[in-house]
Structure 1
Amino acid sequence: MEMDLTAPAVASWAGMIRLLIGDLDEPSGLTAAGAEISPWSDFLMTGLLLAQPHNYSERLARRRSDATRPPSVRRVLDLVEREPAGDLSLARLAAVAGQGPRALQRNFREYVGVSPREYVKWIRLGRAHNDLVVGAGGTVAEIAFRWGFTHVPRFAGAYQERYGVAPSMTLRAARPGPARNLGRIVDRQVAQRIGKAPLLF
């Protein structure tokens, strides 16, 4: 593994190591006074994971962004996850956040990467997709209405844009009979699309 010691984060991590080495060489240092070494090693390992790019860098960055989101944004995210089919108008979301609609939209774009409306649509599409895949009962329109979509053509367009197939194809593939072979094709296409979908939150 190559490390760019000129990168600010790596240089900061290297400074931590020098600090620890200096303390180990100091008779009156914390380590010489019997301080536990495990917190130091945990600290250095965490610093390395944050400073050096690796396979899990994106996931760690996402977890850090979750931790830095203000409580107002987290309350709205929790509500949308908990009640995706409920009243999720901007007015209600702003009331839950305890701030005005404009401030909420600004914070959402800064900390989530999308507007509140886009986030609600993303979550609802995911729930509708789950029902369509397993054939949870009902027509495409009924499933769309179940998850808060009031305009079926717009739902179908948003669904196809996200998953690469029409919702009717996903539902047809979930049913037994002649559509079973089609289901394998659709599932493969959907999986490919999901793999390419941006993770915004």
Structure 2
Amino acid sequence: MSTTGTLTASSEELDGFSASVARAYFPHDLAIRAQAAGPAELRAVDLGPIRLARIGWGSEVAVESDHPGAWAVNVPRSGVLEARVGGRHVLSLDGQATVCPPDQPTRMTRWSADCSIVGMRVDRDYLADEVSALVGMHVDRLPAQLDLRTGGGRTWMALLTSIGAEALVSPELARDPRVSRRLAGTLSAAFVTACFPEEPMQGEIRPRIVSRVVAAMEEDPARDWTASDLARTAGVGIRRLQQGFRHYLGSTPTQELTAIRLRRVHADLLAGNADSVTEAAYRWGFTHLGRFAAAYKNHYGVTPSHTLRCT
């Protein structure tokens, strides 16, 4: 699903615009506080368990929603977003995010006419799994507001800005489920990290846990492994797994997976088991040929096409 559009909205036109926002982001009740001061805007793209939206009403409004089945993370890029979240008053400006829980009434008491948000809708169960994998515990409550100017919040905001801009302008990127899954996983992992800053690890990960993950990647290197998948295989959180890999292997799980895939491609090219570099790369899980070629040359000192020609 992708939606793009702008309009200069009267109160009657805002009713229709509100219906479009409900389909693209969340169902809601809309109250117009002041007549249109500028154009309304809606851009949205579906990344599976995550939806991204750019929304501006062009009028000062109040919006109430129960956010059924999903969290809403609303980042004003201009103007003022004032809300009641779980009985708490939350005022967010640029550099802050309002976090609205699923299946609970939240009222945006003031969405100023000049307020345009970038919103991230993330399915409740998907985020619960991501939190469990990343921080190793079940959490059903998040902070009502995030500071996006320091630490993990700044990192997530940079990713949201980058991925959001590309996906909202070129929604065809999300039509490949492998791409959309990776984008969603990247955004959700960074968001969870922003909500739960890293704490010092208590104790070390045993080397057999790292070996178990390496063995799983060796067994099926072409699988579209995510950080959450690897953490579940290890039975620990993502952070602890990454720390274990750094301690015992001096690399990250992603770097180790790339090395495994490169070895498989290299072996196929040397043995003449592929008609082309592209065939071998796709066979072992590489989806971005430019990055693959660069990684191969960095690892082996020659291009993959040179290896193929020498067989």
TM-score by length of 2: 0.33
Q: Does the 8 A contact of 1:144 with 1:152 survive in 2? A: yes
User: In the alignment, does 2:163 pair up with 1:163?
Assistant: no
Match of 1:146 in 2: 283
Counterparts of 1:23-172 in structure 2, within 5 Å, are: 69-172=206-309
Provide the C-alpha distance between the structure 2 equivalents of 1:111 and 1:69, rounded to a whole number of angstroms. Answer: 9
RMSD: 1.4
Please state which structure has a larger fraction of its residues in strand: 2
Report the Cα offset of residue 70 of structure 1: 2.9
Unpaired runs of 5+ residues, structure 2, are: 1-204
Deviations 1:92-131 (A, max 9, x none): 0000001111111011101111000000001110010000
Report the Cα offset of residue 158 of structure 1: 0.5
Report the Cα offset of residue 69 of structure 1: 4.5
Provide the C-alpha distance between the structure 2 equivalents of 1:90 and 1:117, rounded to a whole number of angstroms. Answer: 8
2:222 alignment partner, SS class: coil
Residue identity in the other structure for 2:227: L
Provide the C-alpha distance between the structure 1 equivalents of 2:299 and 2:206, rounded to a whole number of angstroms. Answer: 26
TM-score by length of 1: 0.51
Residue identity in the other structure for 1:97: A
2:246 alignment partner, SS class: helix
Deviations 1:132-189 (A, max 9, x none): 1111023111110101000011111110111111100111111xxxxxxxxxxxxxxx
Q: Does the 8 A contact of 1:69 with 1:111 survive in 2? A: no
Residue identity in the other structure for 1:98: G
Unpaired runs of 5+ residues, structure 1, are: 1-67, 175-201
Report the Cα offset of residue 87 of structure 1: 2.9
Provide the C-alpha distance between the structure 1 equivalents of 2:235 and 2:208, rounded to a whole number of angstroms. Answer: 10
Provide the C-alpha distance between the structure 2 equivalents of 1:87 and 1:151, rounded to a whole number of angstroms. Answer: 13
Determine what percentage of the aligned residue pairs are the same residue.
49
Q: Tell me how many residue pairs correspond in the alignment.
A: 107
1:165 alignment partner, SS class: coil
Q: Does the 8 A contact of 1:144 with 1:150 survive in 2? A: yes
2:265 alignment partner, SS class: helix
Between structure 1 and structure 2, the one with the greater Rg is 1
Provide the C-alpha distance between the structure 1 equivalents of 2:301 and 2:207, rounded to a whole number of angstroms. Answer: 34
Report the Cα offset of residue 75 of structure 1: 1.1
Please state which structure has a larger fraction of its residues in helix: 1
Provide the C-alpha distance between the structure 2 equivalents of 1:76 and 1:83, rounded to a whole number of angstroms. Answer: 11
